[in-house]
Structure 1
Amino acid sequence: MKKQGGFTLIELVVVIVILGILAVTAAPKFLNLQDDAKVSAVKGLAGAMKGAAGITYGKAAVAGEESKETGYITVDGVSTAVKYGYPTNATLADVVDGLDTDWVKNPTLPSDMTTSAAVYYGYEGFGCIATYTEAADQNTPAVIAVEGTAANCVVDNN
């Protein structure tokens, strides 16, 4: 009579235990992907803000508004207030597509983050935000930065 081949119950249990150990050690690496995605989205938003502010300044320079404390230019058919050629805190959403619909303006910040005259955009209750501070004068352009307490949030804001 021919002997049948196969796995014993003990061999199957050992394999299941090994797979369980691998799953427990690998799971934390994948569980934090949502936070990483949010940080990347906020960094992308800051890049969009920088690009929009630069384009707005270029349009203001062509219109001769870059040296005035208050001025107006037309962006996508909308009269947009600018301060020294850059969008004001109040008109930033005019030049950044989706800013007022896709992001939370002035979300609740973690208690250890300081606030300033800037306007903040990000996710509610998440410790990474994009900040926009309008131009202070002709020699001080608008400042766009990413800051926060979330892992991988703080970047070189130059």
Structure 2
Amino acid sequence: MIILETERLYLRPFIQDDINTLYSIFSDDETMLYYPAPFNLEQTQKWIEKNQHRYDIDGYGLWGVCLKETEELIGDCGLIKQYVDGKTEVEIGYHINKNYWSKGFATEAARACKTYGYDQLDLNRLISIINPKNTPSIRVAEKIEFNLEKESVIFDKTHFIYAGKKT
């Protein structure tokens, strides 16, 4: 089932068969540099299950990002509820396989998720939570017209909160 489609990508719910491909992305030190640590296989499995639970409870979550041309799963992007400074926010999150970095895929997927959040879910505001050292993710947030709003301590570390509002 395709949730979103862009020129080069489609986003779909994760399935159990995605575990090995996702593990190859999430176990990579460079890809997970701004996380506390790369994921092991069990953490990757729980991550898939957590997103499947989000689909059931919230109606959205992080989805698999696939290339239309080859149907290859190259990462994730989607919307997830986060608790920031005492309130629930909806974040656009993304990870792309490092073999596909600097090709605009994260921006393309994030822009589609932004449109989906505003138009399909009728959200008025979306955020991205970004490690201040993660320059590529900052660029993605800026390309989808999010602005640096503040710094907040989330997950026991200082993060930038980039935000955008429905116009």
Q: TM-score range by the shorter chain?
A: under 0.3
| Greater helix content | 1
| Greater strand content | 2
* TM-score normalized by the length of structure 1: 0.23
